[in-house]
Amino acid sequence: MPSWFRVPAPAAIRHFVYGMIIGFSLSITATSLTFYYQSRKKERLAANFEPRPIELRSDEILPGVTGLIGNTPLIRINSLSDALGVEILGKAEYLNPGGSVKDRVALRMIDDAEGQGLLRPHTGSRIFEGTVGSTGISIATIARARGYDVTIIMPDDVAEEKVKALLALGADVERVRPASIVDKKQFVNLARQRALAFGQSDGDGKPRLMSTPSSSVVVTTTYENKSEAGSATLEDSEDFLYKPRGFFADQFENRSNHDAHYDGTGPEIWRQTNGNLDAFVTGAGTGGTVAGIGRFVKAKKRDIIVAISDPEGSGLYNKVKYGVMYDSRESEGTKRRHQVDTVVEGIGINRMTNNISLAIPIIDDAFRVTDAEAVSMSRYLVKHDGLFLGSSSACNLVACIKLIKKMGWKDGQTVVTILCDSGMRHYSKVSRRVLGCLGQVMIEKMPFSFLVLER
């Protein structure tokens, strides 16, 4: 042994060992007590839970209609949660002032456009968008508050309530036949064309086209008395700041769609669940919701399951399952001249968009939902929960149940979905078309046991 090494005295060794044993025992005991009291606290809160009153704070005044957007409650779907032994929670996005989850997207797109200098309020500028309704209503709501005019191009088979809402908000509405995205007369393509044409005049002015790096946004304005408008820059003329512009919002490709949910909805859900989240389920139309929220929660907790609900006629189910954007109802010999007719509006698509491209890598599963299942769920929720939700919300909840059944969950796992909009926005379509096709008697007698089974 080296000369500097000294064997500790037996008493010192004994005291060290005793200290280690006591410290380890105290650590185990403290940890056990902490977990015990946490579980008791959860049981006590669950047993004695009472809804707290709305808290109104002094000097809390919101900045106009945009101040109402976001911070929506997360509500428990009691009938489904109790039947399945899990917590099915819905993000009540239909409580936004424009009535849907698209309020967040519209606000972010307009904010980003103003921040990039593409839009300037109260200059006679006009926002153009191709949509099946909800995004148009949200854009019209916010645009009016910001001083913009709005033109909405939409298919002529959407629910009448959406058209009436747009007209009431002062938007110009152009309804066209449903068509494939490769058709120049498809509603999204027409919106882009209308935005490009907005800056043209009868004189020698030419439209100025600008693009942003983050999206395919189209903005046009007119330069008077310039032979080559394309050579002008923002600094060339003071007039540019005050010229009316045509802005194509392009929710399908605009990165602001994703960012609205990555920076807003995702963090809200994470805080509201205190991070106790096992799965997130939603439909995908533009892809912004599932991409933004899905990527945020996955970054927080990698083993969270992200799944999509896909209606009939959409190819996303096969894209997630088999890597091919394809739907059997559009195969050769069965494809209709126009898109597949379905009662579910707002979700489902047959092409890749920028936002869906962001979502595909983080989607773990997909569930096909039929019209009959969506309608049955909608009626079930009204009867058992007093919730009158739109077709896309019902579709999401059907997918939640299918995921729970597939995973075999029944021990209090938490599944969150999006309650996109209210059934008030779909009433005429459901009552006229769904009941006409499926039959009132069929829906009333439709068994729901394939969705909800007793614990």
248, 280, 309 - which closes a domain: 248
31: phi > 0 → left, psi -120 to 50 → alpha, else beta; which? alpha
In the chain, pLDDT over 70 holds for what percent of residues? 76
Least confident of 23-37, 47-61, 395-409: 47-61
Instruction: Tell me how far apart the alpha carbons of residues 333 and 326 are, in angstroms, rounded to a whole number.
Output: 14
Task: Enter the tokens of residue 379.
Answer: 């009626």
CATH code at 242?
3.40.50.1100
pLDDT of residue 300 exceeding 70 = yes
Answer with the residue of higher pLDDT: 212 or 148: 148
pLDDT of residue 356 exceeding 70 = yes
Same domain for 204 and 107, yes or no, is yes
Same domain for 75 and 177, yes or no, is no
Spatial contact of 146 and 125, defined as CB atoms under 8 Å apart: no
Least confident of 33-37, 163-167, 254-258: 33-37
- pLDDT per position as a tens digit, 45-59: 666 656 666 666 677
pLDDT of residue 433 exceeding 80 = no
What pLDDT score does 342 carry? 64
Answer with the residue of higher pLDDT: 241 or 455: 241
Q: What is the mean pLDDT of residues 16-30?
A: 88
223, 248, 273 - which closes a domain: 248
Give the per-residue SS3 of 14-31: HHHHHHHHHHHHHHHHHH
- pLDDT per position as a tens digit, 114-132: 999 888 999 889 999 998 8
Nearby residues of 143 by Cβ (< 8 Å), 6 or more positions away: 106, 110, 127, 149, 150
In a domain, 290, yes or no: yes
Nearby residues of 340 by Cβ (< 8 Å), 6 or more positions away: 312, 313, 327, 329, 330
What pLDDT score does 227 carry? 34
Nearby residues of 318 by Cβ (< 8 Å), 6 or more positions away: 324, 325, 326, 327
In a domain, 5, yes or no: no
Instruction: Tell me how far apart the alpha carbons of residues 203 and 449 are, in angstroms, rounded to a whole number.
Output: 67
Q: What is the mean pLDDT of residues 217-240?
A: 46
What pLDDT score does 207 carry? 47
Q: What is the mean pLDDT of residues 98-111?
A: 94
Same domain for 194 and 114, yes or no, is yes
Instruction: Tell me how far apart the alpha carbons of residues 184 and 44 are, in angstroms, rounded to a whole number.
Output: 61
Answer with the residue of higher pLDDT: 438 or 324: 324
Confidence at 431, pLDDT banded by 50, 70, 90: low
Rg (CA), the chain: 27
Instruction: Tell me how far apart the alpha carbons of residues 244 and 241 are, in angstroms, rounded to a whole number.
Output: 9
Same domain for 227 and 345, yes or no, is no
Residue that the structure tokens 């494809």 belong to = 335
Spatial contact of 426 and 345, defined as CB atoms under 8 Å apart: yes
Same domain for 212 and 319, yes or no, is no
What pLDDT score does 42 carry? 73
Answer with the residue of higher pLDDT: 350 or 289: 289
Q: State the chain's mean pLDDT as an integer.
A: 81
Confidence at 397, pLDDT banded by 50, 70, 90: very high
Confidence at 102, pLDDT banded by 50, 70, 90: very high
What pLDDT score does 444 carry? 44
Spatial contact of 265 and 91, defined as CB atoms under 8 Å apart: yes
- pLDDT per position as a tens digit, 322-354: 888 766 655 544 545 444 456 676 688 888 889
Least confident of 193-197, 227-231, 325-329, 331-335: 227-231
Same domain for 124 and 159, yes or no, is yes
In the chain, pLDDT over 90 holds for what percent of residues? 45
In a domain, 56, yes or no: no
In a domain, 202, yes or no: yes
What pLDDT score does 59 carry? 72
Answer with the residue of higher pLDDT: 28 or 342: 28
Supply the angle between the helices 391-407 and 371-385 in degrees, to the nearest 10.
Answer: 90
Q: pTM score > 0.85 for this model? A: no
In a domain, 142, yes or no: yes
Q: Which domain holds residue 301?
A: 66-95+263-445
Same domain for 117 and 82, yes or no, is no
Q: What is the mean pLDDT of residues 278-291?
A: 94
pLDDT of residue 76 exceeding 80 = yes
Instruction: Tell me how far apart the alpha carbons of residues 360 and 376 are, in angstroms, rounded to a whole number.
Output: 29
In a domain, 379, yes or no: yes
Q: What is the mean pLDDT of residues 305-326?
A: 88
Residue that the structure tokens 């498809």 belong to = 186
In a domain, 304, yes or no: yes
Q: What is the mean pLDDT of residues 198-221?
A: 50
In a domain, 83, yes or no: yes
Same domain for 235 and 86, yes or no, is no
Q: What is the mean pLDDT of residues 196-206?
A: 57
What pLDDT score does 238 carry? 56
Same domain for 379 and 411, yes or no, is yes
Same domain for 75 and 127, yes or no, is no
When divided into structural domains, the chain yields a total of 2
Same domain for 308 and 387, yes or no, is yes
Same domain for 419 and 367, yes or no, is yes
Q: What is the mean pLDDT of residues 377-406?
A: 93
Residue that the structure tokens 């106009």 belong to = 64
187, 222, 248 - which closes a domain: 248
Answer with the residue of higher pLDDT: 14 or 443: 14
Least confident of 24-33, 194-203, 274-283: 194-203
What pLDDT score does 49 carry? 58
Task: Enter the tokens of residue 366.
Answer: 């997909």
Q: Where are the alpha helices (DSSP H) in 218-353?
A: 255-260, 266-272, 288-300, 316-322
What pLDDT score does 449 carry? 47
